[in-house]
Amino acid sequence: MTIIKCSDVTMSYEGVNVFEHLSFTLERGDYLCILGENGSGKSTLMKGILGLIKPSGGLIEYSDGLQQKEIGYLPQQSPVQRDFPASVYEVVLSGTLNRRRFSAFYGKREHKLADKNMERLSITDLKNSCYRDLSGGQQQRVLLARALCATKSLLLLDEPVTGLDPVASAEFYDLISDLNKNDKITVIMVSHDVKQSIKKATHILYLENKTCFFGSVDDYLNSSVSDQFVKK
């Protein structure tokens, strides 16, 4: 079942087209890695999918009952965000904000969902810890639990392993792969890690100089686009 469809999409920044005529379709349970050099439009596309930036051309459509506010998003962290003085539970619970509708308070449903996702990511024991006191890997798990509180079907991750050591990075990649395979959550991840992208993803989107490549991992490996990054 199709979950998101981009049709002839062009995205612009300050009046300049970042990429043009991008078309692709993702089915429920797909795992897409977006590759490309800095400035190629990876984060711009993510913002377009989230509805934060409107395409200057084309159309981004959602199906399977998905709404933009129901997309789980894990953005790149700034140093200020890493030093956020809140408890782990408060951070995770904030992911349920879009589910509260007109209520000014978190209800039993929101607390239950936060508890469930903390247990899913093995961070229940950190519940009362201060977020800024955690390691980088622990912080990413907390933010992922927060994102899961916002969605049942689609996660957007913008370079989620930046700044993590190799062990924490590997653990995080495995965690995302598990959510994709076992929970059937569709994943869209911006990454510079070609090796892990090929290993974990089902599809690759490569952006460069306003041109776009989209296809399965095998399509990518058999294309000229991969020649400069992958030794065959």
Rounded average pLDDT over 107-117: 92
pLDDT digits (tens, 9 = 90+) for 191-214: 888 888 889 999 999 998 767 899
Percentage of the chain exceeding pLDDT 70: 92
pLDDT of residue 133: 93
Q: Give the residue extent of every domain in the chain.
A: 1-71+154-232, 77-150
Give the CATH H-level superfamily of domain 1-71+154-232. Answer: P-loop containing nucleotide triphosphate hydrolases (3.40.50.300)
Q: What are the tokens at 152?
A: 């049942």
How high is the mean pLDDT of the chain?
A: 88
Q: Does residue 135 sit in helix, strand or coil? A: coil
Inform me whether the pLDDT recorded for 77 exceeds 90. no
pLDDT of residue 103: 60
Most confident stretch, 37-51, 112-126, 214-228: 112-126
Identify which has the larger pLDDT, 104 or 82: 82
pLDDT digits (tens, 9 = 90+) for 1-41: 889 999 999 998 888 888 889 999 999 999 999 998 888 88
Rounded average pLDDT over 52-66: 87
